[in-house]
Amino acid sequence: MEFNAILIALFALIFPIAIGRPIVHFLMKKELPLPFISYFLAGLFTLFASTVVINLIGTFLNLPFPFVFQGIVSALAFILIPINIIVPTKDLNFKPYILPLLFSIGLGIGIFTLFGQNSPYPLNWDLYEHQTLIQNMISGRFSLIPSNITDTFGFNGYSTLFHTLLAAPQTFIKSAVLPLWNALDLIHLIIITFASYLFGKSVSGKESVGYLTAIFGGAVFDSTISFTNLFLMPQTFTAAIFIFLFAQLIESVKRNQHLSLGLIVINTLAIFLNHFIIGFVAGTLYLTTALFLKFRHFIEAKVNLKLVAEIVAVLAIIAILFSGFLPLESINKGEAGNFNFTLIEKFNALRQSYGFLPLFLLPIGAAYIVNSKKKLEVLIGVITVLLIALLLLQIPYVVKFFVLAKFFISFVLALGVFRLISNIKNRALYVLSYCLLLGALLILFATNATSWKGILLYNSLATQISPSEIEAASFLKNNYKGANALIISDPATQHVLEPLAEVNSQGGAYMDISTREHLIGISDSDEAQKVASTLAKIDDKLAPAASKKLFVLGGRYFEWQKMSEARKLDLSQNIWYPVDLSIADRKRINSLVAGSNNLKIVYENQALVVVEYSQTSLK
Amino acid sequence: MKTIKSLFILSIVTTILILSLLGTPAINSQVVPVGGLQFGAFENGLSLHQLYKRSYYTFSPFNDYVLDRESKIALISAGEAASIESNPLTAISYSLEKLAGSYKPAISFEGKNKVTYESSIINNDLVVTRSVALKGASGKKTLGTTLSFDMNDIVFDKSGNLYNIVDPELLDTFTKMSGINLLPNTYDSQITLSEKTIYIASNDIATVIAITASGNQTLKVDWNARTIAIEEEVAPKNGVYKTSVNVKVFKNVGEAYGI
């Protein structure tokens, strides 16, 4: 892993904490439990708010954004970080966290190494679109919402908080994109494992339950849609923030230092702004729980909680039963149907990650909660049931909410294991039972990862990008970066090349319907003039008209063109794995280029050929 | 007493963990890379292929034969397909063997004869070993292994002899890519090669497969049937006829020719 990549990843984690700590100390009169999450959020919001405000002033004064952004990051670093020296150091007692942190680092590195077997490049498909946005930001476009920055984002599911955070170190430190995201994913995995520990420990008050929750949080890969622990993206980033804040909330209640209403609202907003859909559910859960815990005595006196629980349970059952009758064909051009899963499919997804473990351990964990009668554990049990009910709804995208449910399910599973092994009084057998659990989870992880990576096989690798594509991106970067060029290819090729080459494309993997229709129109055409005139029509509406068009004809492009028209129009359909050019593909490229003076091969390797299109003759 | 109770609980934990592992879904496509291709067991035999591509190069007892006088008799008749075991245990063992780099696809058929295919793979070198228990047979027999190729695959040898009919434009592209001019054969439908290695450049997949005859093996091409046969006279050992085929998978012709 590259040094610069690790540096950027650590910068993104530590910089907000370092600038946020003096701010929190200045604003908060009393000490917060688990204060580092508040420091992080204060720093993140300060960075984002400063960027928004100063960018407005900069735009008015005609100052280029990269200059403004570097100035903001430098100013925050030089003004706020030194103040840390004069801030009281009572909060810097790391002793209780050293062992769990070392455990999280060890487990994280182990799982990451296991997952990275035969996969040198990150398998986080979304990294390409987020890095595209970050690069657009660094090169001068900034907005509160992604779709104003790049046409890769047609739907604004989140603000640009996440991207501003990752752009800050990248304005100063340069790193290759793929090693950088490997480093980011590794740090994310360690943080998720540590957050799971804190959550389990806070709720139960027991170290061992904390470690068991960390094992389930870090070593189980939820490989269907949510990807909580292995991939850094806005939804998993939001979940991490949510669970840290939740642990902080629980700690505050246990210490009888209830958080102020203002802080609860700000925290809710922080969760929401990082992902509008996941954040809405997570924020609602956080806000409701925080208010309930704050005003518990009053609510318990006025409201029949048992009746409320019964009504909610009946409504949940009705919703689960009847949600399957929703007319999905009317939603998002029917694409929503692709992200809807039957109950059997959801059960199989659970089996893929956990085997039959939940069938045994969830009931034991639930029984433990019921018997223990500890109000906090009962509350977590109720939230777990609500989240499971949400996951069982037969409406599109709900499986995404597993990103939140995973922590609660991990906790109940951990309680289940704890209930069993806490009765083992022989020390050696006790340790052995932990080892057996970890061993079983590693076997499940290995099988799950092998199966998940089975659709990404390329030579001896499991990958979403080939070395030849990386070489081609390097060529494009060296020759066309900043040249107002536009890559035109199938969605997946555009998706992987755009951030690596730093050359624009129309929509990346989310190319619009009009571009798709243009490309469908030349799917089996070898007529050079028809192809040339089609290329002339394609442009990015957010950017100035491209002066150079680069038609990238790779193995993926030809595979994509072989798909049915309906699948080519479907945003959820991509060629996810690299494909090299066959002789038949080469034949088509040769006959295409030979027939036109406007098309010229400027680069080729075994995976793809880059054809430059110009309105004037190139030959 | 404490230890007995602890042991009892540990056995419950162990049982739960074992039963939980049985919940792992089966992995249907159990493959291992050989060069740019994947190699795995399917109902018909062991196949070299690339995911989602349409071309398959399969070692199968339905295509392999024993020569009885001049007629070829398939080792297994249609309807005697092997059942591929796909269950949680095979999924787990496949995943762990893959992690250890020791997974070797194999498959057995039992019909009128018992036929087993085993493989060994080092990087892009593949050796497929077939063991046949021929019912009622004794003494030396000539056995053939058959590989089918696709229309417009380019089948040639190192001397530049082309062994099938190919779209001229495609052949032209091949020549431009490789710098190798292939000489059309006389187009006898069935040709016995004097060379020891034959190459298949796939039309659909970016790959070249080289099949090398060893010892007393003979290579034959039947372009009408689009097959390459490797024939060998073998004596049985303990009633089993054992033969091996050496295959190498290259990215392109340049790599195959060492140029």
| pLDDT above 90: residue A334 | no
Chain A residues with CB-CB distance to B124 below 8 A: none
Nearest CA in chain A to B7: A429
> In whole angstroms, what is the distance from residue B43 CA to residue B51 CA?
16
> In whole angstroms, what is the distance from residue A587 CA to residue A592 CA?
9
> In whole angstroms, what is the distance from residue A416 CA to residue A186 CA?
28
| pLDDT above 70: residue A337 | no
Chain B residues with CB-CB distance to A581 below 8 A: 206
Region A88-96: mean pLDDT is 83
Q: Which of A512, A536, A510, A508 is nearest to A522 (CA)?
A: A536
Interface A-B, measured as beta-carbon pairs within 8 A, has a size of 149
Chain A residues with CB-CB distance to B27 below 8 A: 447, 450-451, 454
Q: Is the dihedral of CA A147, A150, A151, A152 positive or negative?
A: negative
Say which of B19, B95, B176 has its CB closest to residue A360.
Answer: B19
Query: Which segment of A400-414, A513-527, A605-619, B140-154 scores lowest on mean pLDDT?
Result: A605-619
Q: Contacts for A21-29 with beta carbons within 8 Å, 24 or more apart? A: A21/A84, A21/A87, A21/A91, A22/A80, A22/A83, A22/A84, A22/A87, A23/A80, A25/A87, A25/A88, A28/A263
What's the DSSP call for residue A331? Answer: S
**Could you give the angle at the alpha carbon of B183 between the alpha carbons of B180 and B187, nearest 5°?**
145
- From B107's Cα to the closest Cα of chain A, the distance in A is 20
Measured from the Cβ of residue A301, the count of other Cβ atoms closer than 10 Å reads 8
Q: Report chain B's C-alpha Rg in angstroms.
A: 22
pLDDT in the model for residue A335: 54
pLDDT in the model for residue A305: 76
Rounded mean pLDDT of chain B? 89
The answer to whether A436 contacts B174, with C-beta atoms less than 8 Å apart, is no
> CB neighbours of A86 closer than 8 A, spacing ≥ 6?
none
Query: Which segment of A225-229, A417-421, A428-432, B75-79 scores lowest on mean pLDDT?
Result: B75-79
Nearest CA in chain B to A608: B206
The answer to whether B95 contacts A446, with C-beta atoms less than 8 Å apart, is yes
The answer to whether B5 contacts A423, with C-beta atoms less than 8 Å apart, is yes
Measured from the Cβ of residue A342, the count of other Cβ atoms closer than 10 Å reads 10
**Inter-residue contact A34 to A97 (CB < 8 Å):** no
Higher-pLDDT residue of A90, A482: A482
Say which of A577, A582, A606 has its CB closest to residue B51.
Answer: A577
Chain A residues with CB-CB distance to B122 below 8 A: none
> In whole angstroms, what is the distance from residue A105 CA to residue B173 CA?
53
pLDDT in the model for residue B187: 65
Region A461-481: mean pLDDT is 96
The answer to whether B13 contacts A421, with C-beta atoms less than 8 Å apart, is yes
Chain B residues with CB-CB distance to A440 below 8 A: 17-18, 20-21
SS3 state of residue A251: helix
**Inter-residue contact B82 to B58 (CB < 8 Å):** no
Q: Which two tokens stand for residue B5?
A: 């109770």
- From A585's Cα to the closest Cα of chain B, the distance in A is 8
Most confident of A332-346, A416-430, B60-74: A416-430
> In whole angstroms, what is the distance from residue A237 CA to residue A455 CA?
26
> CB neighbours of A181 closer than 8 A, spacing ≥ 6?
A122, A124, A127, A131, A232
The answer to whether B19 contacts A555, with C-beta atoms less than 8 Å apart, is no
> CB neighbours of A188 closer than 8 A, spacing ≥ 6?
A229, A230, A231, A232, A236, A237, A240
Measured from the Cβ of residue A81, the count of other Cβ atoms closer than 10 Å reads 15
Amino acid A179 reads P
Backbone φ and ψ of B45, nearest 5°:
150, -155
pLDDT single digits (tens) A180-207:
999 999 999 999 999 999 999 999 999 9
Q: Is A492 on the interface with B (CB under 8 A)?
A: no
> In whole angstroms, what is the distance from residue A311 CA to residue A243 CA?
27
Say which of B20, B95, B176 has its CB closest to residue A357.
Answer: B20
The answer to whether B173 contacts A421, with C-beta atoms less than 8 Å apart, is no
pLDDT in the model for residue B40: 94
DSSP β-ladder status, A599-604 and B141-148: unpaired
Chain B residues with CB-CB distance to A448 below 8 A: 24
Q: Return the bridge partners of B237, or none.
A: B240
- From B234's Cα to the closest Cα of chain A, the distance in A is 35
> In whole angstroms, what is the distance from residue A157 CA to residue B97 CA?
41
> In whole angstroms, what is the distance from residue B76 CA to residue B130 CA?
13
DSSP β-ladder status, B227-234 and B37-42: unpaired
> In whole angstroms, what is the distance from residue A52 CA to residue A54 CA?
6
Most confident of A353-362, A371-380, B61-70: A353-362
Please tell me whether the interface predicted TM-score (ipTM) of this complex is above 0.85: yes
Rounded mean pLDDT of chain A? 91
HSE-up (13 A, CA, CB side) for residue A191? 27
Optimal mutation site among A344, A583, A586, A593, interface B, most CBs of chain B within 10 A: A583
The fraction of chain B above a pLDDT of 70, given in percent, is: 97
Question: Among residues 360-379 of chain A, which lie with CB inside 8 Å of chain B?
Answer: 360-361
Region B157-167: mean pLDDT is 89
The answer to whether A606 contacts B252, with C-beta atoms less than 8 Å apart, is yes
Q: Is the dihedral of CA A357, A362, A364, A369 positive or negative?
A: positive
- From B242's Cα to the closest Cα of chain A, the distance in A is 29
> In whole angstroms, what is the distance from residue A27 CA to residue A30 CA?
9
Region B61-72: mean pLDDT is 88
Question: Among residues 389-408 of chain A, which lie with CB inside 8 Å of chain B?
Answer: none
Instruction: Label residue A287 by pLDDT band (50, 70, 90).
Output: very high
pLDDT in the model for residue A490: 96
Q: Which of A232, A234, A65 is nearest to A160 (CA)?
A: A234
Most confident of A296-300, A566-570, B176-180: A566-570
State the DSSP string of A16-66.
HHHHHHHHHHHH-SSPPSSHHHHHHHHHHHHHHHHHHHHHHHHHHTT--HH
The answer to whether B6 contacts A426, with C-beta atoms less than 8 Å apart, is yes
**Could you give the angle at the alpha carbon of A486 between the alpha carbons of A481 and A487, nearest 5°?**
95
The fraction of chain A above a pLDDT of 90, given in percent, is: 72
Chain B residues with CB-CB distance to A436 below 8 A: 10, 13-14, 17
pLDDT in the model for residue A321: 81
Residue with tokens 């024939």: B231
> In whole angstroms, what is the distance from residue A591 CA to residue A527 CA?
8
pLDDT single digits (tens) A139-172:
988 999 999 999 888 888 999 999 999 999 999 9
Q: Contacts for A77-85 with beta carbons within 8 Å, 24 or more apart? A: A77/A15, A77/A18, A77/A19, A80/A18, A80/A19, A80/A22, A80/A23, A80/A46, A81/A18, A81/A19, A83/A22, A84/A18, A84/A21, A84/A22
**Inter-residue contact B38 to B251 (CB < 8 Å):** no
Please count the residues of chain A.
619
DSSP β-ladder status, B208-212 and B71-74: unpaired
The answer to whether A583 contacts B202, with C-beta atoms less than 8 Å apart, is yes
pLDDT in the model for residue B125: 95
**Could you give the angle at the alpha carbon of A156 between the alpha carbons of A152 and A162, nearest 5°?**
85
Chain B residues with CB-CB distance to A432 below 8 A: 10
| pLDDT above 90: residue A88 | no
**Burial letters A383-416, b for 16+ CB under 10 A, else e:** bbbbbbbbbbbbebebbbbbbbbbbbbbbbbbbb
